[in-house]
Amino acid sequence: MFKKHYEILLEWNKKINLVSRGLINQAPTKNNPILEKHFLDSILFLPEIEGLINQTPTRILDIGSGGGFPAIPLAILKPEWDWTLCESIKKKANFLEYLIKNLEIQNVSVMCNRVETCHGMSLHRSNYDLITARAAGKLNELIKYSMPLLKNGGSLIAYKAKDIESEIKNAEKLIQKNNLKLKIFSKEVGDVVRKLVVLSTSGTL
């Protein structure tokens, strides 16, 4: 399924910008940068994410899903989790719909909309156990997007791959205002340190 995701990603990337064209190789090999920077990065912190789950079923919202990372690799590995992919760009949302159909994934749906529009919708408000975001904005923006949509005891999970001290500092007031608990996980792949920033409402961590 990962291989099929990869092949569809390459084909669609010729028409729309899903991943950097500088990363494109013609075949998936051990040292392929797409496999490391996107697929491996998506699943690297799965044990830590599983540790945040305290109930079943689990509803997860992914913000700015783009090429399907991290949601699709995680959805493949965890078919019992229910995913909603929020992608505001129509062409990318079409790609996600096509990808899900061809992978025959049953636990993922796509919403072509800006995440802010969900705040006033009862279907989404206070509805999600987890919200994931990868390359979808600064931490303070993600907090504003996520808080109205998280259940009590839910967590915002932000994938980061660089120094995040300035982002955390800029988000300090929002973290305190929303009484969020901050935890950072780090893992090194090759020469790159990957970080997972977890901001949890009361009841977790």
What are the tens digits of pLDDT across the range 100-159? 999 999 999 999 999 999 998 888 999 999 999 998 889 999 999 999 999 999 999 999
Answer whether residue 134 is part of any domain: yes
CB 44 within 8 A of CB 63: no
Band the pLDDT of 162: cuts 50, 70, 90.
Answer: confident
- Residue 185 and residue 150: Cα distance in Å, rounded? 21
Say how many CA atoms lie within 13 Å of 127 toward its Cβ: 14
158 in Cβ contact with 143 (< 8 Å): no
Q: Could you tell me where the beta strands, DSSP code E, fall in 89-191?
A: 108-111, 128-134, 150-160, 181-189
Q: Which residues are CB-neighbours of 176 under 8 A, at least 6 positions away?
A: none
Amino acid residing at 129: D
Token pair of 56, please? 């079943």
Query: Exposure of 142 by Cβ count < 10 A (0-12 exposed, 13-18 middle, 19+ buried)?
Result: buried
- Please tell me the distance from the alpha carbon of residue 9 to that of residue 16, in angstroms, as a whole number: 10
Residue 205 in domain:
no
* pTM for this model (two decimals): 0.91
Query: Domain of 40?
Result: 2-200
Among candidate residues 185, 150, 125, 178, the one with its CA nearest the CA of residue 58: 150
| Alpha-carbon gap, residue 184 to 196, rounded angstroms | 6
Residue 33 lies in a domain: yes
pLDDT, tens digit, 9 for 90 and up, residues 24-80: 655 555 567 788 889 999 999 999 999 988 777 799 999 999 999 999 999 999 999
- Cα–Cα distance measured from residue 107 to residue 120, given in angstroms and rounded to the nearest whole number: 24
Residue 122 sits in a domain of what CATH number? 3.40.50.150
- Amino acid identity of residue 127, one-letter, is N
Q: What is the number of structural domains in the chain?
A: 1
